[in-house]
Structure 1
Amino acid sequence: MTVIIGLEIHCQLNTKTKLFCGCSTDYRDDGPNTHVCPVCLGLPGTLPVTNKQAVIYALRVAKALHCEVPAFSEFARKNYFYPDLPKAFQITQYDKPLALGGYIEIEAEGGGEKRIELTRIHMEEDPGRLVHKGSGDRGRYTLVDYNRSGVPLIEIVTEPQLSSPKEARRFLNKLRATLEYLGIYDSEREGSLRVDANISIKGYERVEVKNITSYKGVEKALTFEITRQKGMIRRNAQIVRETRHYQEARGVTTSARSKEMEHDYRYFPEPDLAPLEVSSWVEEIALPELPDARRDRFMQQYGISQNHARTLTGDLKLAEFFEEVTSGMPEIAAPWTADILLGELNYRDMPVTKVPNLHYRALLEEVKKGSVTDTSAVEVLRLILNQVMEGQAPEMPGVIIARLGLSKEEGESFVEVVASVLKENEAAVADHRSGKAGAINFLVGQVMKATRGRADPKEIARIIGDLLKD
């Protein structure tokens, strides 16, 4: 069964004021309904005025994603009644969007690059925010906060060219990185990037899943929905065109309503806003170094692998951190940062900005000098990260190594330990003698455990080989 996925990504633009009024967009730490005015509340007699900086940010995205910017675009009214929309219509763009086409290249399933084409990018205002009180799918009551109403958004619509949840997540990771590099949105703001996904099995009806708010959530929501649809097909049940919501706590999608069609919204041009004629602005927009360009530079400048370069440049803050600590030892800093450090940070849900550069670089220098094994160095890193998370002043790596006795020792000093391990693991020794490749790794692991990682695994493997010679 062929899976077909298209995404609609809503990104909040990180402007100081809203799209059509002067209210601040920095509202999340303030009380509800404190960043509102007659314009964003849609009171009678008010007139919107387009935020120029928001248009420039949107054009910056369009240029970075290889879009065509038409000579003429305009805002429209999308009419629907919902509690979070005080005007009973949303100012958006319909048949004359800001940008058309474009593409993003992602890593393909089997290697290489896959181009995902875009349909359009258009601008619109964010609706308000509904706060559900209570538990379960149905809260006891719902509150409305209009602080978010009017915050500038761009909606990026893809062609239905994604074929798996993993591809969708790769696409979103690449898009998020590009938006961060462009400096037009704040990834740490709650709700700054929200995703609607259209999923279908080829030959069957399309289903939309609304308002997925995390990257892991997108992959999980798509996986569940694909499994649900395939199960219905096997049971000969009818798949209906509908809108579903993703219940993140339960990991399921639930039916919300039948899918609206375009004519249901009764679009018509916004009479209070002049059309946009901004295609000439694109030439004046200077783009920063974007993820693909930085990846290629990392490979050339630092001599690191494509996989490490792709990982390190997939997040702007991680790329900046790497360049701050890598001087003189990229061959060590690249695998340590991309593989070990990133894994530890993901486990702790800790941002790289919390890692003390001085301590991390000092640890890499200890590894480079050979004064500590990789195993012991990982133990030191974990202690430093835990100290930071607990609000303590982190110890320098050299202090931790001395305090815990983690200094690397010559392999010969562990001959007796190796002999003892061989005696205690006769079955593994027999497996090794019979040619089983994994047996030596098990024995080395037991020695490393007994020595608390202070020995070089290669030296231990050599000593084991010497002791087991006939």
Structure 2
Amino acid sequence: MSAKLIHGYEVVIGFETHAQLATKSKIFSRASTAFGAEPNTQACAVDLALPGTLPVMNREAVACAIKLGLALGSHIAPVSIFARKNYFYPDLPKGYQISQFEIPVVQGGEVSFFLEGEKKTVRLVRAHLEEDAGKSLHEDFLGQSGIDLNRAGTPLLEIVTEPDMRSSEEAVAYAKELHKLVTWIGVCDGNMQEGSFRCDANVSVRKPGQPLGTRREIKNLNSFKNMQQAIDYEIRWQIEEIEDGRAIQQATVLFNPDTGETRAMRTKEDAADYRYFPDPDLPPLVIAPEWVERVRADMAELPRVMAARFVQDYGLPEYDATLLTQSKAMAAYFEAAAQASGQAKLASNWIMGEISRRLNAQDSGIESAAVSAAQLAALIGRIQDGTISNNAARQVFEALWSGEASDVDAVIEAKGLKQMNDSGALEKIVDEVIAANPGNVEQFKAGKDKAFNALIGQIMKASKGKANPQQATDLLRARLGG
């Protein structure tokens, strides 16, 4: 499928995502990574690079990198190198950041997701281990700025994509899928408001078939809503600049959610500007194959593996299986309902339809569903055995969701929703409808299908909606010889 063009321009987007690793201590020291401490109470001598201190690698951070590599289908380098990334910034106490450059720990891989029913795949360049910098605090009402070094040395994995995305919608879908993955495998808590999952979007535009345009990097996007707004604004801005005859300058920009605009922060640096060189205080990181296999053995079932199992075991379409594995809680809810009802596709339809619609309206997850998996299974069972129609099922569901009742059969009984399955009584209604509507009968016999549907409507009305639609259809056809 060709890329969507905006005013004749193709959009090109690549991502750099910083995922804070779920370790209790920092990447090269024993200082705590807990969020919310008083400023500068969790920055130790190693984090500040005081004379005589040496960094020591956090083993758990490496294990997190291995997990992510396995989850992404990446190559995990048996030997990788740490480097010093040199730049001056007030919240960088060392004057350099320990990162990886030429040989990262995780290489290649991909992230796949569905967007509007179409499967998309974004290729990854790498994921490398590095330490975070501190944080600048700007107190506008005092006209002062301060530095909090609690984050300095916090372990990160920077995950870098190829420029494979062609719209803000694709970019957000990729970010959501990556967010799901890092939280699923437990390497990151994914808290965007606390800065645990921060995305930088590299955005450029070009005419189709032309070389890549000059990119601008939107830094520190910390919500999916801001991400889409920022990218859309940047796309419009770049196209307007080019159409007005101005060249795009490579830059780092920030997004202001209050104005909905991006603004340039500084000229974008290239790798040469950082003067990378191997860190003399850290030996090469060696990861033995046995370590990788131990991590693999301890990992929970991955989303893509679980989705493939749902296709194989439950006969679901790949699209359904992918959506049902958006979270462990969603997958568990589906499996419980599918196994209890024996109707996997119906369970999937209810979860992806009515339940998801209500949860989205509440902006909440499946954990907040007011109808349990067991209740949903019971409801599906009553549809399947002909006790209630699909119409009545929606009424039962509403009663369960609103808390009006908790038992499916009790709701059916109290509301008188049972379908009429007495063939004798239904035959009588069918005969009466045929006798009362000779015009529709003649039209049907003349080949007009709408007349048949009108007769079914009359049957349902006469039975007060309790007739089994399939049974009514069969009886009417038998009577009319159709």
* Partner-residue secondary structure (3-state), 1:147: coil
| Correspondence for 1:338 among 325, 328, 352 | 352
Change (3 A) 1:378 1:232: farther
Change (3 A) 1:72 1:363: closer
Identity %: 35
Alignment of 1:199 with 2:213, yes or no, is no
Aligned ranges 1:48-447 → 2 under 5 Å: 48-107=55-114, 111=118, 113-133=119-139, 140-188=143-191, 190-202=194-206, 203=211, 204-280=213-289, 281-286=291-296, 287-327=299-339, 328-355=342-369, 359-370=372-383, 396-398=406-408, 401=411, 405=415, 407=417
Q: Deviations over 1:164-191 (max 9, x none)?
A: 2222223223322332332222234632
CA distance in 1, matches of 2:467, 2:171: 41
Check conservation: 1:180, 1:316, Cα contact below 8 A: no
Indicate the larger mover: 164-173 or 348-357: 348-357
Change (3 A) 1:381 1:20: farther
CA distance in 2, matches of 1:385, 1:80: 56
Check conservation: 1:380, 1:400, Cα contact below 8 A: no
CA distance in 2, matches of 1:395, 1:23: 52
* Partner-residue secondary structure (3-state), 1:54: helix
- TM-score relative to the length of structure 2: 0.76
Change (3 A) 1:455 1:195: farther
CA drift of 1:79 comes to 2.2
Q: Deviations over 1:377-422 (max 9, x none)?
A: 55766676677xxxxxx95254994799484676999x9xxxxxxx
- Structure 2 letter corresponding to 1:65: L
CA drift of 1:240 comes to 1.4
* Partner-residue secondary structure (3-state), 1:274: coil
Q: Specify the structure having the higher radius of gyration (Cα).
A: 2
CA distance in 2, matches of 1:337, 1:258: 48
CA distance in 1, matches of 2:360, 2:305: 25
Change (3 A) 1:354 1:255: same
CA drift of 1:52 comes to 0.6
Q: Deviations over 1:36-77 (max 9, x none)?
A: 322224333322211011101102212332322334322122
CA distance in 1, matches of 2:405, 2:131: 48
- Structure 2 letter corresponding to 1:213: N
Query: 2:35 matched to which residue of 1?
Result: 27
Check conservation: 1:104, 1:175, Cα contact below 8 A: yes
CA drift of 1:209 comes to 0.7
* Partner-residue secondary structure (3-state), 2:183: helix
Indicate the larger mover: 52-61 or 223-232: 223-232
- Structure 2 letter corresponding to 1:199: V
CA distance in 2, matches of 1:78, 1:409: 72
Change (3 A) 1:381 1:92: farther
Query: 1:4 matched to which residue of 2?
Result: 12
- Structure 2 letter corresponding to 1:15: T
* Partner-residue secondary structure (3-state), 2:292: helix
Change (3 A) 1:406 1:335: farther
CA drift of 1:200 comes to 0.8
* Partner-residue secondary structure (3-state), 1:257: strand
CA distance in 1, matches of 2:145, 2:416: 56
Change (3 A) 1:378 1:149: farther
Q: Deviations over 1:119-148 (max 9, x none)?
A: 11110012223444459xxx9544543332
Query: 1:427 matched to which residue of 2?
Result: none
Check conservation: 2:334, 2:373, Cα contact below 8 A: no
List gaps (5 residues or longer) in structure 2: 1-8, 430-447, 477-482
| Correspondence for 1:18 among 26, 39, 50 | 26
* Partner-residue secondary structure (3-state), 1:5: strand
> Number of paired residues?
425
Change (3 A) 1:398 1:225: same
CA drift of 1:355 comes to 3.2
CA drift of 1:276 comes to 0.8
Check conservation: 2:20, 2:157, Cα contact below 8 A: yes
CA drift of 1:7 comes to 0.7
Change (3 A) 1:235 1:270: same
> What do you get for the CA RMSD once the two structures are aligned?
3.8
Query: 2:5 matched to which residue of 1?
Result: none
CA distance in 1, matches of 2:416, 2:38: 51
CA drift of 1:311 comes to 0.5
Query: 1:421 matched to which residue of 2?
Result: none
List gaps (5 residues or longer) in structure 1: 388-393, 416-434, 466-470
Indicate the larger mover: 195-204 or 143-152: 143-152
Change (3 A) 1:24 1:402: farther
- TM-score relative to the length of structure 1: 0.77
Indicate the larger mover: 330-339 or 97-106: 97-106
Check conservation: 1:27, 1:35, Cα contact below 8 A: no
Change (3 A) 1:458 1:172: farther
- Structure 1 letter corresponding to 2:295: I
- Structure 2 letter corresponding to 1:195: C
CA drift of 1:88 comes to 2.7
CA distance in 1, matches of 2:258, 2:400: 32
CA distance in 1, matches of 2:124, 2:112: 11
- Structure 1 letter corresponding to 2:153: G
* Partner-residue secondary structure (3-state), 1:250: coil
Change (3 A) 1:456 1:303: farther
Check conservation: 2:202, 2:216, Cα contact below 8 A: yes
- Structure 2 letter corresponding to 1:239: I
- Structure 1 letter corresponding to 2:201: A
Change (3 A) 1:150 1:400: farther
